[in-house]
Structure 1
């Protein structure tokens, strides 16, 4: 049984993580260490983090969608494929050695940070797509969803860079579409975690209150300030995740 003060602290962390997740992704860098510090074993911490994060991401996704920044109809095929990819990744991770990702993922995140930092034309305006959206976004969803099921860190950054670089979306629309597919990917992992009994529900309920507020505030901040907020936060979060993975894998 978690102490009430610990639950209060987790609620505050949930608010901060929800805000970060809604804008740029990467809130797990705050919430997972907090859950581990509260005494949860690693598997329970990861499962509980997925559950509480899904709540905040749902709020953020709904907010972006209400403001017209989520292409829901166009993404429906990708939703199913992303779910399948993440579920397959969650099953695959038990069969393969993923240690090579400890080096590859930080390098990829640093490359994303460099692109968002120095690319001259990144804005909220859509540009010409390099690849056809309807046919190849499902492939993006499957690949990143599979990665999320296998490993996880940086999933939001990989979705965002895909939408911006390959499909020409403005940064705010990219963030909105990212939220939907990231939510679907999390739900696939939760299918396994919940049935295995790994989710610590008191911690989820405490953090959910903060996640709802953080997801709502973060989504509105992302919509209001657009690329001026999302772009630097993606850079900071990507570099921070890369350092975390390299120094504390």
Structure 2
């Protein structure tokens, strides 16, 4: 049995080598470390769990969720599963069920707490996440390599800090800011933004910090798109989600 609960990756390490050194099978080690999406790509400083119990605590506990503030509004009216199904009709019920709690928790925390704010928020994240189905962009991130405007100054930053979360946080600098805001080590573990709660909280934190609640109050949906996208890419699709949200959340 392993003597330590985790191993810190050093140059030259592979998962297979770590498994052998700790009397574990490679499959068992991979199963203990679901945060490692590509077993062929581990980096010096990464934490590899050697104990199933410790791994579960890390992945599902506060260390990987970050500090979540107490609810901001005791009178918060949560959206329901049926409302999400009306807004995102092509998304599976099981996927919507898995996102329902995280979305309500995030909207409550970041004061997306009126019908107008909820409708606009869900419409925008719906477009960016393909109906809540994606928390990581399809593209490899190669196009972001060397983008100093995103803070991508180190080799591999483009791929490592590709778009994640329900609003596709992109680039080393933005991951650093979001990690500080959510109390998550996103520079070490950018994949944390793919988890449902972190994906929802990152989107809601961005939304609040950019003044999008106030724009939603004023009904300025086009300006919201510009602040998120920098332009109006996908605006017709965003409006389609908004119209569904208006019917679902009166």
Regarding TM over 0.5, the answer is no
Q: Give the structure with the higher percent helix.
A: 1
Q: TM-score, normalised by structure 2?
A: 0.27
Greater C-alpha radius of gyration: 2
Q: TM-score, normalised by structure 1?
A: 0.27
**Higher RCO, 1 vs 2 (CA within 8 Å, ≥6 residues apart):** 1
